[in-house]
Amino acid sequence: MKFIQKLLLFLVPFMAILACRQGTQTTTDSSADQLINREDIERELKEVAYPLPEPFEVYDMLEEIGASYLGDILNPVTNADNYFTQRSKAVNAGVFASDLGYAVTYGNKEDIQMYSGILKSIAGDLGVAVDYSELQQEESTGTLSDKDSLVSLVTDLFYDTYHFLYKESTPSLAGLMAAGAYTEGLYIATHISDDTYNNTDIVTIIHEQGKSLDNLISLLDKFNEDELVRNLLGAFSKLKALYDEAGDSLTEEQLKSITSTIEAIRESIIS
* Other Cβ atoms closer than 10 A to 136: 14
Quick: pLDDT tens for 220-257. Answer: 999 999 999 999 999 999 999 999 999 888 999 999 99
Whole-number Å distance between alpha carbons of 267 and 271 = 6
Whole-number Å distance between alpha carbons of 49 and 52 = 9
Burial class (CB within 10 angstroms; exposed 0-12, middle 13-18, buried 19+) of 15: middle
Contact call for residues 238 and 210 (beta carbons, < 8 A): no
Quick: pLDDT tens for 155-188. Answer: 888 888 998 999 889 999 999 999 999 999 999 9
Contact call for residues 217 and 232 (beta carbons, < 8 A): no
> What is the residue extent of each domain of the chain?
1-49, 50-270
pLDDT at 263: 96
Quick: pLDDT tens for 186-202. Answer: 999 898 877 777 788 88
Q: Is 107 left (phi over 0), alpha (psi -120 to 50) or beta?
A: left
Chain CA centroid to CA 100, Å: 11
pLDDT at 156: 85
pTM: 0.80
